[in-house]
Structure 1
């Protein structure tokens, strides 16, 4: 920049700030106190501009790496295909791993650092994990025999039931509600696979208690009879959990938000309908 142009820019800056920014001496110029103060602001402005440029460059780049999410089997069956497809579309150079397991195991893996994100059913609180309830879904009774539209928990407990074995979260939730009322569940078979549970219900072996959305897993001809449970109404919690100590990345932030959207898409309607 030529000397006249530079002098004109300095004059305009002094006019805009209303401050004398330089003191002219025989050896050149020196910044005034106001000039030094403006220099601090100017450096901050340039740093912010550089951060903005870096952020924009990062958004142009495609992250690589791997992220691992843990899902209970029923959730994995409903959400995995959509999750992997959306993830691959957004991050073609990254990889996603989906681990299936009971909520109690997924929680252990999350605390141990084997998972980055997990979806859990009714987990106990932990200072090591940040938890967010995605949806609360009512439990219902399913059977091939004709059921009333609503049944008290005491009536449900008296029926022959096929349920998952402990420490399944649904089994624990159901027993937690039954015990204070002095009720003992009449469990005639313990089966951990939801598909097998529904198969036994279809054969008329026993009834079962499952979240309302489990009806989507039914593949046995005519749909079963469904009764809403009350006195009390029992709702499970589908929870999104991430380790508190682990810094968020673009991959983890995307998977967390995607999990929220898929949970609402797959389970939100069932929760609202009951």
Structure 2
């Protein structure tokens, strides 16, 4: 499948890689600059909504709401697209007490927690896309995305990038922290599959497996690196994410431990 793709957030972590893959496949890609309102007056084809805040959302709550809900609201109001794929987050499951969460699991938020501005703004963006697009909207809930390309954001990405520079690593975290990790290439494959199949509704874009920092550290140790942690906290693990719908699209994410092991072997070759 090829055609016109509009990428909001095309200079970001996911958007940049997605645009490169779409271009290589022969798509006509349009990447409007931030603040360019002319996009609302043109046909946009398949829209990939990759815009958003991650690490600095707590420091910039109003910008977070603007990026996650206000802009997509205007885009949906304009309505000049064939399909809209909105990138959200599996963080929306963090308020659940259940051990496993799938796309149909009702979400729970603590309205008095200021850090939930991120989750609530994403949830509002999801609601607009799923209920106000006349059946043309889909949501990709992304787990913790990582890559080893220089300047890749996120805890694991920075860990991997640093490993190429030094064999002694001191990490500002705890070995007991548990997350679901998915590689950037698998995320892009999932988004392309959602576009190709004209998917509607929510798809969990995750590995479906929770992995602790300590488990990843053991792979580093076995490969000859030294790893230390500055903390020892044991926060509650998030729910395990069900990825049956993602697998039904033909996407099988690489287990993070296999990917890390292969990356380190490449560094030592």
Higher helix share: 1
Higher strand share: 1
Q: Which has the larger radius of gyration?
A: 1
TM-score, scaled relative to structure 1: 0.30
